[in-house]
């Protein structure tokens, strides 16, 4: 008997015992559909997270130096930061670490009232150096970003985010208008292109950028930074750069060899890896659940096949008497299990793709079909049919035709 | 055609005690014969028939079929012989449930070298007088009709040897006669027929009768 003939036989036997076939399929169906959903949604979530993270940090080819030893929760601001990271530290990193292309200095504060006429907003006020836009790869939609001259002259100029524009200038052109940050008047020079939502879901557009020198001397009266962003010449060099910056900073801050750093260096690439790692741990756990469902499905297949074999002893005897060898019987029963579990797998994929579509629509995620997961699913259902069908099929080959045919 | 020499068959019961079903049986059957095997219940009739049909192997002795000594054959080899040379008919018809007459008849073709030939199966069903029953399931057919489907199934691969184990045992006398006439026709065509029975009326169709007694041959005589 050929394999094709065997598949035809298996198909017929399945359509003769629909209820049994259904029960044999359920486990595989549930397992495969959940696997498909988990994998596709997981992949989709991961890509969305990466996208949002990228929006927040702008570019991955940087290392970020923050004041303070421990990892602080949330965003550091001037009120919470230790006053140890100085402007000169940033300059030293730029000039003394060969791997660094440029360094941006940052001073940021929250909860500062910003007013224009009778309108008010409380965006994040961030003092940055003039290379900020270039370093991050951000863009302005209107006007021009402030320059090194503005930095030098401590110009009171501001670049506002989209949310600030909406809040303060709902129906007028903000360019060259004068708004107040705290009590200090600033002239709007440009509007930032929208960056959308960050990793936590909050808007990244509720922000005002001003020259960091102006921020330090005219607004906040602080001579330390909340953050320094150092851009690498070659993204591969981040570890070397971190090592060199650490050494440089320890030297500049005169930290004794036994003492801990008074600063923290992170790399967005590493943080990103951590974020997606968490995601994939979760999906691994869920995949375990799906695999357990499939193993249960396999055991159901095996028990129902065993029952079928003992119910069909006479059929086995007849087939043997008309010329079926042990191998033919083995093939027939293995193929029955295989056809049922593969069909269960295919239906599972269909259900899974439908489920994925729903979840993705509900959570507003990008639509991604994880083709490798589908391949895995098909492979798994075939393997399950094979593994759990083999024992009953072997039992079938051991049915003695003479005994089975005796009246 | 058939040469059985010094064949014995010993079964083991569940508890391990041996049961001798056949004890040093020897006989020969030439091609085209119609032979009945008779004897009381438990005398070894089915045992010898299963050996002739290559469904079982003797414990000792040799069995030659069309000149081939099949005693040491593997499962694959015996299966091929069953498929091509032998047609079985049983007392209890043994049609496969939830399967049409036509599909039942097609089964042996699956295990032959050819593909399933539906036209051929239809023709053979016609031949046994069931042209209008091809789509019927076993449960929708009378006993005589079921047995005719079984005969069609036995014939589909065109075997030289037909082995029937009390084929009329479950039938009324009219249906039984029809089956016997069918077997007689097959014999007239040149097929060798070995038939197990304990019905005198049935035995009268055959030209030769072997009687078994306690696993041995009691008598072997021509009844022509
Ligand atoms: N599989 C078996 N296991 C044990 N004993 C068996 C088996 N098959 C047949 N026998 C015994 O062998 C003897 C002959 O059986 P059988 O050939 O079926 O006789 P008949 O067909 O003439 O009634 C009987 O005593 C029967 O009980
Ligand atoms: Mg018997």
Q: Are A303 and A390 in contact (CB under 8 A)?
A: no
CB contact A9 to B (< 8 Å): yes
CB A342 within 8 A of CB A401: no
- For residue A93, the SS3 value is helix
Task: Decide: residue B132, CB within 10 A, 0-12 exposed, 13-18 middle, 19+ buried.
Answer: exposed
* Mean pLDDT score, A384-403: 95
At residue B216 the predicted structure's pLDDT band, cuts being 50, 70 and 90, is very high
Asked whether B46 lines ligand 1 (CB < 6 A), one says yes
pLDDT tens for residues B115-159?
889 999 999 999 999 999 999 999 999 999 999 999 999 999 999
Contact B96 A315 (CB under 8 A): yes
Flag whether residue A317 sits within 8 Å of chain B, measured between CB atoms: yes
B112 chain-A contacts, CB cut-off 8 A: 323
Does residue B44 line the site of ligand 1, with CB under 6 A? yes
Query: Which residues of A are less than 8 Å from B96 in CB distance?
Result: 315, 318
* Predicted pLDDT of residue B25: 96
Mean pLDDT of A351-358: 90
The answer on pLDDT for A337 being more than 90 is yes
Q: Which two tokens stand for residue A364?
A: 């507003």
Sign, Cα dihedral of B111, B117, B119, B120: negative
Cα distance between residue A287 and residue A297, in whole Å: 15
Which atom of ligand 1 lies at the shortest distance from residue B13's CA?
Answer: 4
pLDDT score for A71: 60
Q: What is the pLDDT of residues B42-94, one digit of tens each?
A: 999 999 999 999 999 999 999 999 999 998 899 999 999 999 999 999 999 99
Shortest Cα distance from B83 to chain A (angstroms)?
Answer: 4
Residue A285 has pLDDT above 80, yes or no: no
Q: Once rounded to an integer, what is the mean pLDDT over residues A38-64?
A: 82
For residue A245, give Cα distances in angstroms to A91, A96, A254.
12, 9, 14
Backbone angles phi, psi at A6, to 5 degrees: -65, -40
What total number of domains does chain B contain?
1
pLDDT tens, residue by residue, A128-174 = 999 999 998 889 998 999 999 999 999 999 999 999 999 999 999 99
User: Maximum Cα–Cα distance for chain A, whole Å?
Assistant: 109
pLDDT tops 90 at residue A283? no
**First-to-last C-alpha distance (Å) of chain A:** 28
Q: Which residue, among A315, A355, A279, has the nearest Cα to A34 in the 3D structure?
A: A355
Ligand 1 pocket, mutate which of B9, B19, B216 (most atoms under 8 A from CB): B19
Q: Please, which pLDDT band fits residue A235 given cuts at 50, 70 and 90? A: confident
Q: Are residues B111 and A325, on separate chains, in Cβ contact within 8 Å?
A: yes
pLDDT value, residue A74: 61
The 10s digit of each residue's pLDDT in A9-47 is 889 888 888 999 999 999 889 888 888 888 888 788 888
Q: Which of A48-57, A276-285, B145-154 has the lowest mean pLDDT?
A: A276-285
Does A322 lie at the interface with B, CB-CB under 8 angstroms?
A: yes
Contact A322 B83 (CB under 8 A): yes
pLDDT band at A318 (very low <50, low <70, confident <90, very high): very high
Here the tokens at position B73 are 């054959």
Position B76 scores a pLDDT of 94
Q: Which of A16, A321, A407 sits opposite B91 (nearest CB)?
A: A407
Residue with CA nearest ligand 1 atom 18: B46
Shortest-distance Cα residue to atom 2 of ligand 1: B11
The mean-pLDDT minimum among A84-88, A326-330, A355-359 falls in: A355-359
CATH of the domain at B64: 3.40.50.300
Q: Do A322 and B88 touch (CB under 8 A)?
A: yes
DSSP sequence for A159-212? EE-HHHHHHH-TTS--TT-EEEETTEEEEEEEEEPP--B-TTS-BS--EEEEEH
Closest residue on chain B to A15 (Cα): B98
* pLDDT of A73 strictly over 70: no
How many CB pairs (< 8 A) connect A and B? 69
Distance A44 CA to ligand 2 centre (A): 68
Question: Residue A275 pLDDT > 90, yes or no?
Answer: no
Nearest to A321 among B80, B82, B92 (CB): B82
Q: Which residues of A1-34 are buried (b: 16+ CB within 10 A; e: fewer)?
A: beeebbbebbbebbeebeebbebbbbbbbbbbbb
Kindly state the tokens that stand for B18. Answer: 């041996």
Average pLDDT over chain A reads: 89
B96 touches chain A (CB under 8 A): yes
Q: What is the ipTM of this complex?
A: 0.95
Contacts of A275 (CB under 8 A, 6+ apart): A49, A50, A53, A199
For residue A318, the chain B residues in CB contact (below 8 A) are 94, 96, 107
Q: How confident is the model at residue B205 (pLDDT cuts 50, 70, 90)?
A: confident
Name the percent of chain A lying above pLDDT 70.
Answer: 96
Closest-lying ligand 1 atom to the alpha carbon of residue B165:
21
What is the percentage of chain B residues whose pLDDT exceeds 90?
88
A328 touches B: beta carbon within 8 Å: yes
* Residue bearing the bigger pLDDT, B208 or A278: B208
What does the pLDDT look like over A178-187, one tens digit per residue?
999 999 999 9
The closest ligand to the CA of B166 turns out to be 2
Lowest mean pLDDT segment, chosen from A78-87, A245-254, B145-154: A78-87
Q: Is B18 exposed, middle or buried (0-12, 13-18, 19+ CB in 10 A)?
A: exposed
Assess whether pLDDT exceeds 70 at residue A278: no
The mean pLDDT of A341-356, rounded to a whole number, is 92
Is A224 in contact with A86 (CB distance < 8 Å)?
A: yes
> Chain B window 106-135: which residues touch A at a Cβ cutoff of 8 Å?
107-108, 110-112, 115-116
pLDDT at A80: 82
Instruction: Tell me which of B71 and A277 has the higher pLDDT.
Output: B71
- What pLDDT sits at residue B91? 94
Domain that holds residue B199: 2-222
SS3 state of residue A227 = strand
pLDDT of residue A72: 57
Residue nearest atom 5 in ligand 1 by C-alpha distance: B11
- Which of B47, B108, B111, B115 to mutate to probe the A interface, most A CBs <10 Å? B111
3-class SS of residue B96:
coil
Q: Residue B20 pairs with which residues in a beta bridge?
A: B10
On the CB side of A35, CA atoms within 13 Å amount to 30
Name the band, by pLDDT with cuts 50, 70 and 90, for residue A324: very high
């Amino acid at each position: 008997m050929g394999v094709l003939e065997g598949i035809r036989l298996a198909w017929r036997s399945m359509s003769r015992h629909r209820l049994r076939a259904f029960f044999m399929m359920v486990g595989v169906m549930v397992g495969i559909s959940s696997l498909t959903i988990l994998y596709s949604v997981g992949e989709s979530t991961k890509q969305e997270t990466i996208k949002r993270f990228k929006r927040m940090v702008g570019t991955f080819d940087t290392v970020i130096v923050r004041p303070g030893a421990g990892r602080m929760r949330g965003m550091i601001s001037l009120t919470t930061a230790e006053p140890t990271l100085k402007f000169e530290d940033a300059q030293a990193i730029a000039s003394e670490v060969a791997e660094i292309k440029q360094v941006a200095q940052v001073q940021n504060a929250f909860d500062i009232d910003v007013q224009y006429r009778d309108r008010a907003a409380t965006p994040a006020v961030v003092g940055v150096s003039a290379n900020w836009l270039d370093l991050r790869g951000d863009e302005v939609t209107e006007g021009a970003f402030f320059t090194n001259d503005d930095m030098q002259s401590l110009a009171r100029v501001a670049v506002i985010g989209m949310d600030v524009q909406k809040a303060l200038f709902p129906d007028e052109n903000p360019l060259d208008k004068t708004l107040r940050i705290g009590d200090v008047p600033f002239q709007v020079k440009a509007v930032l292109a929208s960056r959308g939502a960050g990793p936590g879901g909050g808007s990244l557009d509720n922000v005002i950028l001003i020259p960091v020198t102006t921020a330090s001397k005219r607004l906040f009266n602080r001579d330390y930074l909340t953050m320094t962003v150092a851009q690498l010449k070659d993204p591969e060099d981040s570890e070397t750069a971190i090592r060199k910056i650490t050494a440089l900073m320890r030297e500049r801050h005169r930290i004794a060899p036994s003492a801990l750093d008074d600063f923290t260096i992170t790399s967005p690439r590493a943080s990103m890896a951590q974020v997606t790692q968490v995601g994939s741990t979760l999906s691994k756990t869920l995949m375990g659940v799906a695999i357990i469902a499939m193993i249960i499905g396999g055991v159901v297949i095996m028990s129902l096949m065993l029952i079928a074999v003992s119910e069909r002893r006479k059929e086995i005897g007849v087939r043997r008497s008309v010329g079926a060898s042990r191998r033919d019987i083995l093939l027939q029963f293995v193929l029955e299990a295989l056809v049922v579990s593969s069909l269960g797998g295919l239906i599972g994929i269909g259900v899974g793709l439908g489920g994925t579509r729903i979840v993705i629509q509900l959570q507003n995620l990008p639509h991604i079909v994880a083709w490798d997961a589908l391949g895995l699913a098909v492979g798994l259902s075939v393997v399950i049919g094979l593994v759990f069908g083999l024992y009953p099929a072997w039992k079938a080959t051991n049915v003695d035709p003479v005994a089975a045919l005796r009246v | 055609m058939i040469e059985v020499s010094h064949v014995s068959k010993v079964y083991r019961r569940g508890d391990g005690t041996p049961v001798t079903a056949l004890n040093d049986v020897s006989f020969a059957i030439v091609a085209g014969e119609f032979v009945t095997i008779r004897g009381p219940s438990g005398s070894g009739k089915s045992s010898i028939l299963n050996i002739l049909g290559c469904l079982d192997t003797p414990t000792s002795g040799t069995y030659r079929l069309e000149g081939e000594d099949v005693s040491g054959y593997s499962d694959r080899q015996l299966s091929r012989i069953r498929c091509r040379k032998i047609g079985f008919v049983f007392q209890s018809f043994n049609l496969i449930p939830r399967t049409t007459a036509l599909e039942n008849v097609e089964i042996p073709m699956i295990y032959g070298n050819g593909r399933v030939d539906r036209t051929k199966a239809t023709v053979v069903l016609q031949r046994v007088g069931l042209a209008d029953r091809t789509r019927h399931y076993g449960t929708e057919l009378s006993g005589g009709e079921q047995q005719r489907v079984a005969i069609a199934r036995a014939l589909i691969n065109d075997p030289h040897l037909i082995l029937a184990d009390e084929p009329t045992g479950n039938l009324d006398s009219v249906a039984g006669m029809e089956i016997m006439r069918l077997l007689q026709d097959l014999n007239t065509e040149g097929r060798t027929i070995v038939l197990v029975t304990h019905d005198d009326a049935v035995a009268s169709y055959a030209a030769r009768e072997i009687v078994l007694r306690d696993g041995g041959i009691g008598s072997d005589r021509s009844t022509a």
